[in-house]
Chain A
Amino acid sequence: MNLNKIFKEELSFGIFTALLFALVLWFDEPPLNKHWIGSVIYIATGWAVYYFVFLKSLKEYKLDEREMLIFTRTGNTAAFTFITMLVILFYLQEINVSILRLPLKELWGRFLLPLFLIAHSITGLILIGIEER
C-alpha cells in the first residue's frame, strides 16, 4: 500500500533527521562553537524534508482520492499529536539527557522537525490501521 510506504519512509526520515541534528551539536557546542553551520544544516534539512517527503514522494506514489483524504486527515491529527508532545517535553525540560550531557530544555527546540515527522508518520500509520479494521 502506497500510503503505508509513505508513512514508513517519513518515520525513517524522522529518525534519521533526529540523529543528524544530534550530530549537529558537535558544531554548535564547545570546543567548535560554529553555530552558523548548525543553523544552515537545520534550515537546509527542513526544506529538503518538505520537498522530498511532502512534494516529491506524494507525486511519485500517486495517491488515489481515498489515500489523499487519509493523508490530509493525518496532517490535522498530527498537528495535535505534535502539540501534545511539545507540552510533555515542556514539563520534562529539566531532565538531563545523559548521552549529550545537556538538559532537555537546551535540546528540544533543535528537534522540532524530526519530532513533527515522527508524530505525523505514527499518526498516519495508526489511522491506516483503524481504517483497515
Chain B
Amino acid sequence: MLYLKIGNEFYQMKNILHILRAERRLSQEDLAKLLDVSRQTINAIEREKYDPSLPLALKIAKVFNKKVEEIFFLENGK
C-alpha cells in the first residue's frame, strides 16, 4: 500500500474491487483467471496491500466495464 504525496498532502490508493467482484458473484480465483494473475494478487489488491500496474488496472476496468477511476481512487491519508 503506497502513500502518494501530492504537494503537501498524503493520499492512499483505495479500491472497490471486492464490491464489484461480489456483485458479479465472482470468486477471487475466477477473477484471477480472467485477468491472468494469481489469486493471491487479487487478494493483495483487495486488501490494499498491492497497487496494480496501469495495464492491470485497465484490464480490471475492462472486465467490470467501468473506468479505472471508478474502481481505484485516492483518499486523504494521515
Report which A residues bind B (CB closer than 8 A).
1-3, 64-67, 131-132
Contact = CB atoms under 8 A, between A and B. Distances in A.
Interface residues of B, number: 12
Contacts of B52: 65
Nearest to A133: B49
15 contacts: A1-B38, A1-B39, A1-B40, A64-B37, A64-B41, A65-B37, A65-B52, A65-B56, A66-B37, A66-B38, A66-B41, A66-B44, A66-B50, A131-B44, A132-B40
B38 A67 contact: yes
Interface of B: 36-41, 44, 49-50, 52-53, 56
A36 B46 CA distance: 55
Contacts of A132: 40
Contacts of A66: 37-38, 40-41, 44, 50
Contacts of B40: 1, 3, 66-67, 132
Contacts of B44: 66, 131
A3 B37 CA distance: 12
